Structures are given as structure tokens and as C-alpha cells.
Amino acid sequence: MESPVNPIRVLLADDHAVVRQGIRQFLEASGEIEVVAEASDGEEGLRLIRQLLPDVAVLDIQMPIRSGIDLARAVRADRLPVGVLILTAFDDEPYVRAVLQAGANGYVLKTADAEDIVEAVRAVRDGKSVLDPAIARQLISRFSGEPALVVETLTERELEVLRLAARGYTNKAIGVQLSISDRTVQGHLAKVFGKLHAASRTEAVMRAVTQGLIPPMLEADDSD
């Protein structure tokens, strides 16, 4: 298969060489991804990310020196133009929350099909967020079991912003879609968080789904 003119440049960080080899093989077999570097620990991963500025960093959670969560947090603190996709075997909710709070763009389980992981890399490169369907169902199930909350009515514009957030769009992409500024998007989301008693974008989306405000969006939207 011919390499694309502008392949998706990926850095792969995992402390198991055999795992890295397997992931690299199916990523590059897609014909649109180039693994530009590999790292066996978080510190090496951060150094290579800063040096190479890949389109997407695919990170395991548990690594020596720095975890994938620490690495995601450092990438965001440095404001690097790099998408962060966590690829892990852990589906525990505390890990999911920590990853999303650290600013990662996606969370996918290693049990996912190779095609789904490739699609997740593509989506993160395009500025979207990705949540493994199994994780999304787990979170929705938890929120569905909550006592009924009294939530304020969302305005039509707040619902528009929330629907786009549910599809995985960043604040900048939402602003482009709605012809408003990033700051305005951020303001709308802050109001949505307050009305839905949510502490994060993911929590707001899941709570809105269980309240019937928006339809469930369990996977990255690829209809654009």
C-alpha cells in the first residue's frame, strides 16, 4: 500500500516492546499512519513529543518514570499541538476520569479492534474526542443510576454547543461550526456544567444523555 502524501505522524509510548511492535504493525498497515518514534517510558515519551511534535501521541497509562496521565498533563501544560490518545487495558472509572481531566483527547481499550484504534487515531488527529464504546456505556450506566437531579433548562445555543461537544469537537471546532469565538464556547460550556451539576465535559455529556437532552454518542462521529 502506498504511503499517503501527509501521513498521520504518531508517537507510540508503552513500556512493553512486544505490545509496541504489535500496535505499530497495525497502525502502519492502515497505509495512512507513520510511527515516527517509540518510547518505553513517560520521560522518554515527553522528550520525543517535544522534539518531534507528532500529530498524535498514543500512550499507555502505566509506564516507568511518568505515567500516561502525567504525560498527557505535561503536553497540555506545554500547550503542544499534539493530540493525546490513551490506549490501555484499564477500564476503571478513576483512570478514565484522571485521563480526561489531564486533557487527553481519547481513551480506547487495547481490546478494541485494530480498525477502531486506527479510526481513533484519525479522529484525534482531526481534533475530535474519542471514548471507547465500552467505557461510554459504563459511564452512562453509572449516571443512569443516579438519583434524579433538578437541572435548569438549557438554552438552544447551549444545547447546540453540548451536541457538538458530544460529537467530540474541540472548543475551537465548535466555534467554527457556530461562528462564535472559543471564549464564547467556553462560556456556554461553563453554564452547561453548572446547570447539569457536571465537573467535566464528559460528565456533562453523559448526564445530558441520561436526562434525554441529547442522544447517546458512544463513538467518534465520522459523518463529516
Q: What is the CATH number of the domain that holds 176?
A: 1.10.10.10
Does the residue 177 lie in any domain? yes
- pLDDT, tens digit, for every residue of 160-198? 998 888 776 778 888 998 999 989 999 999 999 888 888
Does the residue 215 lie in any domain? no
Residue 126 belongs to a domain with what CATH number?
3.40.50.2300
What's the rounded mean pLDDT across residues 74-88?
90
Does the residue 1 lie in any domain? no
Whether 102 and 184 share a structural domain: no
Whether 24 and 110 share a structural domain: yes
Range 187-216 burial, b when 16+ CB lie within 10 A, else e: ebbeebbebbebeebbbbbbbbbbeebbee
22/12 Cα distance (integer angstroms): 11
Does the residue 219 lie in any domain? no
Confidence of residue 60 (pLDDT cuts 50, 70, 90): very high
Whether 32 and 85 share a structural domain: yes
163/169 Cα distance (integer angstroms): 9
What's the rounded mean pLDDT across residues 201-216?
74
Please check whether residue 57 is in contact with residue 79, taking contact to mean a CB–CB distance below 8 angstroms. Answer: no
Whether 125 and 190 share a structural domain: no
- pLDDT, tens digit, for every residue of 124-160? 898 877 877 777 766 656 655 555 555 678 899 999 9
Does the residue 217 lie in any domain? no
Whether 93 and 48 share a structural domain: yes
Confidence of residue 103 (pLDDT cuts 50, 70, 90): confident
Whether 173 and 196 share a structural domain: yes
Does the residue 98 lie in any domain? yes
Q: Name the residue with higher pLDDT: 63 or 216.
A: 63
Whether 112 and 201 share a structural domain: no
Q: Which of 223, 193, 187 is nearest to 208 (CA)?
A: 193
Domain count for the chain = 2
For 55, the domain range is: 8-131
Whether 27 and 107 share a structural domain: yes
Question: What pLDDT does residue 224 have?
Answer: 40
The DSSP-derived string for the chain is: -PPPSSPEEEEEE-S-HHHHHHHHHHHHTTSSEEEEEEESSHHHHHHHHHHH--SEEEE-SS-SSS-HHHHHHHHHHTT-S-EEEEEES---HHHHHHHHHTT-SEEEETTS-HHHHHHHHHHHHTTB-EE-HHHHHHHHHHHHTSPPP--PPPPHHHHHHHHHHHTTB-HHHHHHHHT--HHHHHHHHHHHHHHHT-SSHHHHHHHHHHTTSS----S-----
Q: Could you give the percent of the chain with pLDDT greater than 70?
A: 85
Confidence of residue 27 (pLDDT cuts 50, 70, 90): very high
Among the ranges given (15-29, 53-67, 121-135), the one the predictor scored with the smallest mean pLDDT: 121-135
Does the residue 161 lie in any domain? yes
Whether 62 and 155 share a structural domain: no
Whether 179 and 110 share a structural domain: no
Q: Within the chain, what is the greatest distance between any pair of CA atoms?
A: 55
